[in-house]
Amino acid sequence: MENPSPAAALGRALWALLLATLGAAGLPRGGESVCSARAPAKYSITFTGKWSQTAFPKQYPMFRPPAQWSSLLGAAHSSDYSMWRKNQYVSNGLRDFAERGEAWALMKEIEAAGEALQSVHAVFSAPAVPSGTGQTSAELEVQRRHSLVSFVVRIVPSPDWFVGVDSLDLCDGDRWREQAALDLYPYDAGTDSGFTFSSPNFATIPQDTVTEITSSSPSHPANSFYYPRLKALPPIARVTLVRLRQSPRAFVPSAPVLPSRDNEIIDSASVESILQGHCLEERMKGGSRQYMRDSVLSDTHHG
Ligand SMILES: [Ca+2]
């Protein structure tokens, strides 16, 4: 199936011709180059927390809950979809996720984007990380028209702080990147005005845009990330994406990824538990085949 064949070569040639014919109309928003990589590509994504007490001693959360990370929720999408963006307002779904780790509304938004604009190819998620420095991973698939990857992970505890990636393009012209790695820094969703990790809820009215939290901004001594002597914060997490070489046919779906039982996060329902709900499974079956095939849904839930 994956062996290059004359038919496949012809298909690629026709596709290239089609793209050439479409010309500028086929260009994604923002003037990025068109991805012409032929087959879809599969990646592993690994999120590594670097939120240690050594690196971030100020107000480091020790109890109820100790420093940890929510589930990771992401999507492979086109430039017509944006999960979050610096200096823009978050959606209601991302607000729920950033403030409380609730993934349901965000999932519904992603699903709606996938159905209305075909701008989302697949959703992926990884289990929550029960410590500030733990690791979690997932697999995802991108394709030519959905070569961008975005994801979010909530900082727990925090008012509305998260880390993530906005529209990382895994395609480089006619080929897929072998790997990508990014240091991650905290962002403020602009929906809760709490200054510290454990601040009580304090809605930001009117809502503010997404801003990066730095060692000097917000410029207030009470802020948990305020380190006036530091020029910049150290990265609080890192993400690595590595292309998997297995052909889709040879790929053996991994065992279901289940949330950790002995380190239940004291946030809200995990993404996994929501994603395992049959309602969503039914709704997502159009736009997220990759998710359906490889991830947490059990085989007892046939849509
Ligand atoms: Ca805030």
Residue 292 has pLDDT above 50, yes or no: no
Q: Establish if 172 belongs to a structural domain.
A: yes
Condensed to tens digits (0 to 9), the pLDDT of residues 180-226 reads 999 999 999 999 999 999 999 999 999 999 999 999 999 999 999 99
**For residue 92, how far is its CA from the centre of ligand 1 (angstroms)?**
14
DSSP string, 43-91: EEEEEEE---TTT--TT---SSSPSEEEEEEEEEE-TT--S--TTSPPP
Query: Which has the higher per-residue pLDDT, 161 or 253?
Result: 161
Residue 174 has pLDDT above 50, yes or no: yes
Residue 279 has pLDDT above 70, yes or no: no
pLDDT band at 273 (very low <50, low <70, confident <90, very high): low
Q: Strand, coil or helix: what is 164?
A: strand
**For residue 207, how far is its CA from the centre of ligand 1 (angstroms)?**
9
Q: Establish if 32 belongs to a structural domain.
A: no
Helix (H) or strand (E) holding 9: helix 6-22
Q: Establish if 132 belongs to a structural domain.
A: yes
Percent of the chain with pLDDT over 70: 70
Name the least confident of 46-60, 150-164, 225-239, 248-262: 248-262
**Which CATH number is 74's domain given?**
2.60.40.2130
Q: Establish if 6 belongs to a structural domain.
A: no
Q: Establish if 259 belongs to a structural domain.
A: no
State the burial class of residue 29 (Cβ atoms within 10 Å of its Cβ: 0-12, 13-18, 19+): exposed
**For residue 205, how far is its CA from the centre of ligand 1 (angstroms)?**
11
Q: Establish if 168 belongs to a structural domain.
A: yes
**What's the domain count of the chain?**
1
**For residue 201, how far is its CA from the centre of ligand 1 (angstroms)?**
10
Q: What pTM, to 2 d.p., does this model score?
A: 0.76
What is the rounded CA–CA span in Å between residue 210 and residue 208? 7
Which residues partner with 146 through β-bridges? 143
**For residue 187, how far is its CA from the centre of ligand 1 (angstroms)?**
9
Name the least confident of 30-34, 138-142, 240-244: 30-34
Q: Which residues contact 132 (CB under 8 A, 6 or more apart)?
A: 49, 50, 51, 52, 53, 56, 60, 66, 67, 68, 69
**For residue 150, how far is its CA from the centre of ligand 1 (angstroms)?**
21
- Mean pLDDT across the stretch 94-123? 95
**For residue 151, how far is its CA from the centre of ligand 1 (angstroms)?**
19
**For residue 268, how far is its CA from the centre of ligand 1 (angstroms)?**
19
Q: Establish if 228 belongs to a structural domain.
A: yes
Condensed to tens digits (0 to 9), the pLDDT of residues 244-255 reads 986 555 555 555
Condensed to tens digits (0 to 9), the pLDDT of residues 230-242 reads 999 999 999 999 9
pLDDT band at 10 (very low <50, low <70, confident <90, very high): low
Q: What is the mean pLDDT of the chain?
A: 81
**For residue 172, how far is its CA from the centre of ligand 1 (angstroms)?**
35
The top-scoring range by mean pLDDT among 12-21, 132-141, 290-299 is 132-141
- Mean pLDDT across the stretch 29-41? 76
Domain that holds residue 82: 41-243
**For residue 163, how far is its CA from the centre of ligand 1 (angstroms)?**
13
At residue 293, the pLDDT reads 32
**For residue 60, how far is its CA from the centre of ligand 1 (angstroms)?**
18
Condensed to tens digits (0 to 9), the pLDDT of residues 140-153 reads 999 999 999 999 99
Q: Establish if 48 belongs to a structural domain.
A: yes
